[in-house]
Amino acid sequence: MWQLKIPVHNAEEYLFSLVVCECNVIELAVFEGVFFAVGFDWLPEQARLGTTRLSKMQTLRRSSSNFSIKSKFSTHGQSDNWHRQVSLVAGDQHPVGLGYVPNATFPWAALLRITDSYLIKKRGKNTEEDRDACLALLIKSHAAKDIAIAACGHAMSPKSVRDLLAGDLNIKLGDPYGLPSYLQAIIAANHVNEGAVSALEAQRTIELMASSSTVRYLQALLQILINGVPANFLIHPHIQTLVGLECVKFSKQLEELRGQHQWRRAQAATEWLRNFVRRSVESLPENLDATKLLCENFPHWRAWANWSPDLTRVGRWELFSPGQRQTLSNALVLEGPDFVYHRHGTLREAAEAKGFIASLTSHSVGSLVFDVERGMAHDVPNMVHRLLNLVDAAVVMSDNDDTAILAYFCISQRVTNKKLDCLECLSHLGDPSISALVSQAYRARKETWGTQMAAVMRLLPILGVERCNSLRLAIGHDIASFVRGTLEELQRRLLSQLRSGQPSSDTETRLQACGDGLRNTPWLWPSLDDALVDLFKDWPLPEDVVSLQSIRDFAKTSSTGNMLDVVKKVDDYLVNCLAKRGTINTGTRILVKALIKLWTQALDSDRRLLALSVVQGRVITTNFRCRCLDQLPLLPDGFVHSLRNIIQNHDEAPEPACVDLTTLLATTELSVVTCWRPVLNRMLKNQREKLIDYALSNLKANEWLQFLLDLRQIFGEEVNWDATTSAPILKPQLHRWANNLDGYLPVISQLEDDARCGPTVQCILAGGDGLHGLLEDTLERVLLLMLNMEAHSKPVMMAIVSLLERDGSNALDIADALSSLGSATEEGLDACLHVIDFVQNKTREVAEVVLTGWLQAPSLTVLDQKALESVADVLGIRPGSKQDWSEAGLEVAMKYLDAEYADLFAEAQRLEEMRFLLKSLDPQGTSQLLASVGIEDSSAVDDALASLPPALISVVEKVDDLRVEMLFPLTHLTQLQRLRFGLGKAQSMYLRFVVADDPAFCLHLDSEMKGKRRADHATSVHDPWQVIPGGEGPDLPICQGHTSPAKYHLSRAISRHLTDGFKSLEAVHVLVTAVLQDLGKGCITCGRDHGVKIRGPTTCSKAVCRNAFLSASLEIRLCQIRQDPAAVDFLLSMIYSAASTGNMQLLPNCPFNNTATVLQILNLLPSMSSLQNSDGMAEVIRGYNPQVEQLLIWVCTACRGFLSSARKNLRIPSFPAGSHQFLLSNHSPEHEAAFSRHISGWNGSTQTRVLFHGTSLDRLFAITCQGLQVMSHTPLQANGAASGAGVYCATEPSTSWYYCGAQGVGNWPQSQFSNFRVLLGLENAGHSVGGSGVHVVTDATTLAVRYLFMIPVSNAAVPMAAHITPAMSSVYASLRSGAL
C-alpha cells in the first residue's frame, strides 16, 4: 500500500503520470491545498522522476479505508469528506503510543484543522448546542472514537464531551476488548479539552492502561486505587470491576493450591500481598476502595496476607507426591494460613495461641485430634511439633509406606503419644521394609485379610529382635490383640462353615498358616489364651492340611458312593487340631493319620478311592482298617482296582460285594487273604440269611457251587461254625449238600433255563432238612426222575417241577406226580398240560371243570387218570360234578366259554380283514394262497362292495361279479351349465364300472339307458374305456349314447384317478361327485382349477391341454352346434364381417392366411339348424370341403368363454321386436379371474355397474374372444379419444347406439341374421373418468361383456337405461352368485 500527498495544483498533471505509468490508484482526496493519492503496488519510477512540481511524497502503512475510485472526480457530503480526511490523516495512530506514553507524532493539529474546516463550511450550526450535537454525531458515527474526539473535542463544550464519554461512548463493565479504545478516547479528550477530562484523570487512565501489561495485574490495579481514583472519574467503575474480577481469579488460584497443599507455590504467589498490605493498605482506613473490594471478592485475603510459614519445611514438602500430600492433608494444613482468625502466621500458631483446656483429654488442632492424659494439655504443642517432624522425616524416607502409616496413625485416627512413639521408632530404625510391614499390618484391617495377616506374620519375628524392642513395646499389644482376634475369628468362621456345609479350605489354610507363625513367636504367647497355646503343641503341618483338604474334596467329588462319613471324619479332625481339642476320639484320630500317611504315599485314584472306602466302611474295626490302609501301597494294582470297586459298592449292594470279595480273595496270595479275611468275615456276618437269598436268586447253579467252594478255600475245609455268632453262609450242612449236587448239575442247568423254575432251583440248591427232615432225600428223588425223563414227557414234567415251593413244602407231591407222569400216554400228558395251563391262567372253577372233563374222556387210560389226579393234587384242585359246584362257579365257567366263542368270532373277522387287505395288494396271489389252504375266495366286486361306507350302499348297485353301477344326480346344475355341457334335461348320470386290475368304465345319462327315449340309443351293450397305467386319457366317444362335454370332462378325470390303479369304489364316487359339484371349475382336459367358476367347458392356458382337446372327437368340439346353433350362427356372422374388412387382426387365432379364404369357406357352409338335426353331424361336415371342418372347429373353440342365446328369464325386456339377445356368461378363465379381483375392491362391496358400448360388427369376434381392450392411439382405433385413452362406455344405451355400426356388407349365405346392429351390455367393476353419462375406462380388465343385443337396422331407437338396467343388474348378480 502506498500513499502520496502533493499540492493540489499539480494534481491533474500527476494523475496523468499515474495513468501513463499504469499505477493502481484507488483513492484521491483534496485537503488544504494538498492532493492525497492512495493505491496499491509501488510508486512507478517514471511518476517519481517525471514530476518536477511534486512538493512532497511519503510512503505510509496500508490504510484500512476502502474508497471508490470514482471519488477522484465526484463530490461527497461534507460529513463523508470529514470521515475520509480524518481517517487519512490519522492513519493507524492513537493518542497513547507504545510504552503507554503520549504519542509525539499524533497529528493533533491536522485533525483540529479538518474539524474547523468542516464547521466553516457547515452552515446553520452557529449555536453551541447545535455544534455540540453535530460534532457528537460525527464522533459517534466514526469508527475510531479516540481519533474522532481528538479531531472534534476542542470545538465542543466540556460538558458535552464528558457526557458523550460517560454515555454513548462508554463500554460495558468488564469488557476486555472495548476498554483500550475507551481509555484512548478519555486521554484524547484530556488533550483537546481539559475542561472535560482533567490531567489527573488522564494520568490514572494511562496507569490503568499500563497495568494490563504487568505480571501482577491485581497488585497494579490495587495500587491505582490506593493512589486515588475518585468516584467521578470515568474509569472509577471500570477499575473497580477489574479489581473484583482479578480478586476472584486470584482467590480461585490460591484455593486450588490450598486444596493441593502446594504451600511453597502459594507462598510465592502471595508474597507481594503480604508486603503490599504491610506497605500500603494497613496505613489507610478500612473504608478504602481497595480494602472493600478485597473483602468483598477475596474473603481470606487477610489470612493469606498474614501467612508466614516455615519456608524450609514447606519447601521440603514439595517433594511429596500429590497422593502423599492428599494422604497427609490434615497434617500439612497445620503449616497453612490461619483461616480461623486471619491474624496468625500459620494455623499451628493460631492453635497454640488459643491454648488448650487442661481438664480435657482430647484437643483439636485443625482437623486433627490429640489425645492426652488429663492435666497434660500443655503437651499438645509438643505433640504437634513431633507430628510435623515425622512428616518432615517422611519426606526424607520418601516411601509411600511411611506416609501411609503416618496417615493411618495420626491423620485418620486420634493422635496419641504412643502412636508418635511408634512412628519415631520406625523413623529411628530407618528400615523401609519394617515400615512397610507395620503399615500393612495396620492399614490392611479394612482391606484383604491376606495382606494384613502376611504382614503381621512377617513382622512377628522382627519384633523379637533386640533392636526392635522399643517398637515391640509400642505396637506389641496391638499385634497380640490382632493375632488373638484373628485366630478366634478364623476358628469361629471355620466352625460355622463346617456346620453349614460352606467351603472352608481357605479358612483352614489361613488358620494353619497363622498358628504356624505363632508357634515360633514365644514372646507373644503370654498374650494368648491357654487353650490356643495348647493347640500349638500338636499343630498340623501345612502339608497335612493340604492332604486333608485333598481327601475331603476327593470324597465329595467321588462318584463311587456316599462318602459323607469320610468328609465328617476329616472335618472333625481339622476342628480338633485347629479350633478345639477333644472333638474326636482316639480311633478317629489314628484312622485319619493313617489316611494322611497313605495319601502322601499313594497318588493313584484307585488306592485313594479304596482307602476312602475302607475309612467309610463300618463292617470292620479301626485296627483292621488301619492295617488295610498300611497294606494298600504294597498291593498289586489289579487287586487294588478290583478291591476298590468291591468295598466302595458295599454300602449300596452288600450282598454282591460279599460274593465279589470272596471270588477275589480265593485267587489271591495267602498273605493278602490273611489281612483281608476279617473284612470278608465281618461282611458275611452282617448279611446273615440275606446273603444266601441273594446268592440263590442271582447266581447260576455252577456259580453257587463255586461260591461255596471259594468260601471253604478261604476259611478252611473244617469251618468252625456257631449258630449264634457265625455267618449262615458258612453252615457245614450247606456245604455238604453242595458236594452232593455235582452229579445233577445238567438237570439243574435245564431248570435254570426255564423262567418258571426260579424257586425250584433255589429250593434244590439250598437243600436243608425241610418240615420232616427228609427234604434232601426227596429232592434227590426229584432230580433222579428229571435226569431220566423222556422227551415226550419233558414239557409236563418241567411244568410240574416248576411248581416246587422255595421251602420244599410240596416236594413229596411233586415227586409223586413226576413218578406217575412217567407211565402216562402222550394224550394223558397233553391233558395234564392243559389242566396246568388252565390253573395258571384261568380261574379255579374253570380249571376244575376242565379237569372233570378230561377225567371223563374215554380216550384216557387208568394211568393217565392217575397222572391227572396226581397233578391235581399238586395244583390243589379236585374234580367234581354239577352238584359239587356252586352257581357262582358255573356262572364263571359259562362266562369263560362265552368269551372263548367271542374270541373265535373276532379272530374270524380279523382273518377276513386280512384277506381283504391282501387281495387289495395282490389279488391273484391271495386267491392262490386261500385255495392252497382250502378256503373259498370271494369276487372282486364283493370285496369292493364290502368296503363301502353305509351312506353309499344305496347308490352303488352290483351288476355282476365284475361290474357295478353308480348313480349321480344332476339336479343341482343350472340352465346354462346343462346347455353348455350337453346334458339337456337329464336328471342323473350312471357310471358303469368294471372292478379289475385294469379297471374300465363308461358314462350314461338317464335318458340313454335301456327303455328310455329312442330305442336306437339304448345302451344294452356296453363298450367301456379300459384304463391302462401310463396310458392316455379318453379322447374318442366311449360306449354308446350321445357324446357331450360333460362325459368327456368326467371321463378324463376318472381316467387320471385310475392311472395309478383302482383303490376303492368310495374314492371313485367321491371324485365324480366333486367334479359334478363344481362342473366347469377346472380345465376340461387336465382338471386344473381355473381359480374362478366357469359355466362352460374350456381348457386352461396350457398349449398341451388345448392340443389335447383339439384331438377329441368332432362331436365334442362342435357340440355347441347341437346345443345352440343360433349362437354359432352369430359367431359366423361376426367372422364374415371381420373377414370382409380384409384385416386379419380382427380374426384372432385364425387357421387361414387370408380373409378371402375365410369368405370362400363361409359361402360353402350349410345352415347351423340343419347340422343340429343331423344324425351324424361329424359325417355330414366331413362330406364338405376339409376346410369347412377346420373353420367350424376354429369358430367353436377360439372363444374360451361361453356365448349362448338368452332364453326365458335371461332375456332383457323392452327391446324392439325382431331383436336377438345373446349372453356371454363368462369370458376366458384368465379374464374372469382378473375381473373378479376388481369386484370387491373398487367400491367396497360386491355390486357392479351396468354400462353400454357401441361397436361395429367386424370388431365383435375379436371382442368376444379376447374381451374389450384399449385400442386408443392404435391402428384399430375406430373413433376419437377426446377424453384420453380408454374404452368409451355410456350409462345410456342411446349414447352407445350412435357408435353401433350396421351390417353393411351382408352376411354369410345360410345365416338366419341380416341387417342388424349390435349393442354391447357391459359389467363394470372399476373406476372411470369422464362425465355427462360417458365413462372412459382405462383398465380394460374391469370390464366384462355380458350381453350382445342384436337389433334390426330398421329400429332407430333403443330402450332407456332405466327400463333395462335393473334386469341386467339382476342377471349379473345371479351370475356372480352361481345361481345361473
Q: Please, which pLDDT band fits residue 69 given cuts at 50, 70 and 90?
A: very low
pLDDT tens digits, residue range 303-357? 898 898 988 888 888 888 888 888 888 888 888 898 888 888 898 888 888 888 8
User: Counting every residue, how long is the chain?
Assistant: 1380
Give, for 655, the enclosing helix (H) or strand (E): helix 654-666
| Sheet-wide strand order for 1220-1226 | 1202-1205, 1220-1226, 1343-1352, 1316-1324, 1249-1254, 1287-1290, 1334-1337
Q: Which residue has the higher pLDDT, 1293 or 631?
A: 1293
Given a cut of 90, whether residue 62 has pLDDT beyond it is no
* Lowest-confidence region among 431-445, 563-577, 1104-1118: 431-445
- Measured N-to-C along each axis, helices 469-500 and 449-463 cross at an angle, to the nearest 10 degrees, of 140
Given a cut of 90, whether residue 1287 has pLDDT beyond it is yes
Say which residues have a Cβ less than 8 Å from residue 328's Cβ, sequence separation at least 6.
261, 320, 391, 394, 403, 406, 407, 411
Given a cut of 80, whether residue 1160 has pLDDT beyond it is yes
Q: Which residue has the higher pLDDT, 566 or 435?
A: 566
Q: Which residue has the higher pLDDT, 16 or 390?
A: 390
pLDDT tens digits, residue range 351-376? 888 888 888 888 888 888 888 888 88
Average pLDDT score over the chain: 82
Highest mean pLDDT: which range of 64-68, 933-937, 1214-1218: 1214-1218
Q: Please, which pLDDT band fits residue 49 given cuts at 50, 70 and 90?
A: very low
Give yes or no for a contact between 332 and 325, defined as CB atoms under 8 angstroms apart.
yes
Give, for 191, the enclosing helix (H) or strand (E): helix 179-192
Give yes or no for a contact between 1349 and 944, defined as CB atoms under 8 angstroms apart.
no
Given a cut of 80, whether residue 59 has pLDDT beyond it is no
Give yes or no for a contact between 691 and 655, defined as CB atoms under 8 angstroms apart.
yes
- Phi and psi at residue 1324, to the nearest 5°: -115, 135
Give yes or no for a contact between 311 and 246, defined as CB atoms under 8 angstroms apart.
no
pLDDT (0 to 100) of residue 18: 42
Given a cut of 60, whether residue 908 has pLDDT beyond it is yes
Q: Please, which pLDDT band fits residue 112 given cuts at 50, 70 and 90?
A: very high
pLDDT tens digits, residue range 1310-1364? 999 988 999 999 999 988 887 788 999 999 999 999 999 999 988 778 999 999 9
Largest CA distance in the chain: 182
pLDDT (0 to 100) of residue 422: 81
pLDDT tens digits, residue range 1185-1244? 889 889 999 999 888 888 999 988 899 998 998 899 999 998 889 898 888 888 876 666
Given a cut of 50, whether residue 29 has pLDDT beyond it is no
pLDDT tens digits, residue range 227-244? 888 989 999 999 989 989
Q: Please, which pLDDT band fits residue 187 given cuts at 50, 70 and 90?
A: very high
Q: What is the mean pLDDT of residues 21-31?
A: 41
Q: How far is 1214 from 1216, CA to CA, in rounded Å?
A: 7
Per DSSP, helices labelled H in 1090-1167 are 1103-1110, 1114-1117, 1119-1123, 1125-1140, 1155-1164
Q: What is the mean pLDDT of residues 959-974?
A: 86
pLDDT tens digits, residue range 452-473? 677 777 878 877 777 787 777 7
Q: Per residue, what are the HEC states of 735-765? A: HHHHHHHHHHHHHHHHHHHCHHHHHHHHHHH
33-62: b (≥16 Cβ within 10 Å) or e: eebbbbbeeebeeebeeebeebeeeeeeee
Given a cut of 80, whether residue 550 has pLDDT beyond it is yes
Give yes or no for a contact between 668 and 613, defined as CB atoms under 8 angstroms apart.
no
Given a cut of 70, whether residue 1106 has pLDDT beyond it is yes
Q: Please, which pLDDT band fits residue 739 given cuts at 50, 70 and 90?
A: confident
pLDDT (0 to 100) of residue 164: 93
Q: Please, which pLDDT band fits residue 23 given cuts at 50, 70 and 90?
A: very low
Q: Please, which pLDDT band fits residue 284 given cuts at 50, 70 and 90?
A: low
Residue whose C-alpha is closest to residue 1351's, from 1301, 1308, 1306: 1301
Q: Per residue, what are the HEC states of 799-857? A: HHHCCCCCCCCCHHHHHHHHHHHCCCCHHHHHHHHHHHHHHHHCCHHHHHHHHHHHHCC
Highest mean pLDDT: which range of 291-295, 524-528, 820-824: 820-824
C-beta atoms surrounding 903 within 10 Å: 10
Given a cut of 80, whether residue 389 has pLDDT beyond it is yes
Q: 3-class SS at 1078?
A: coil
Given a cut of 80, whether residue 13 has pLDDT beyond it is no
Q: 3-class SS at 400?
A: helix
Given a cut of 70, whether residue 755 has pLDDT beyond it is yes
Q: Which residue has the higher pLDDT, 59 or 729?
A: 729
Q: Which residue has the higher pLDDT, 1012 or 932?
A: 932
Q: What is the mean pLDDT of residues 1092-1115?
A: 84
Q: How far is 254 from 244, CA to CA, in rounded Å?
A: 15
C-beta atoms surrounding 1156 within 10 Å: 11
Q: Per residue, what are the HEC states of 233-256? A: CCCHHHHHHHHHHHHHHHHHHHHH
**pLDDT over 90 percentage in the chain:** 17
pLDDT (0 to 100) of residue 279: 67
Place of cell 378363465: 1229
Given a cut of 80, whether residue 1246 has pLDDT beyond it is no
pLDDT tens digits, residue range 154-185? 999 999 999 999 999 999 988 888 899 999 99
DSSP E strand stretches across 1156-1261: 1202-1205, 1220-1226, 1249-1254
Given a cut of 50, whether residue 1082 has pLDDT beyond it is yes
* CA 160 to chain CA mean position, Å: 82
Cell of 610: 479304596
* Lowest-confidence region among 114-123, 675-684, 764-773, 1080-1089: 764-773
Q: What is the mean pLDDT of residues 1089-1109?
A: 84
Say which residues have a Cβ less than 8 Å from residue 1134's Cβ, sequence separation at least 6.
1257, 1258, 1260, 1261, 1264
Would you give the end-to-end CA distance of the chain in angstroms?
105
Cell of 451: 495382606
Q: What is the mean pLDDT of residues 1073-1092?
A: 86
| Sheet-wide strand order for 963-969 | 956-958, 963-969, 988-994, 1000-1005, 1025-1026
Q: Please, which pLDDT band fits residue 843 given cuts at 50, 70 and 90?
A: confident
Give yes or no for a contact between 314 and 335, defined as CB atoms under 8 angstroms apart.
yes
Highest mean pLDDT: which range of 583-587, 714-718, 1234-1238: 1234-1238
Q: What is the mean pLDDT of residues 1072-1089?
A: 86
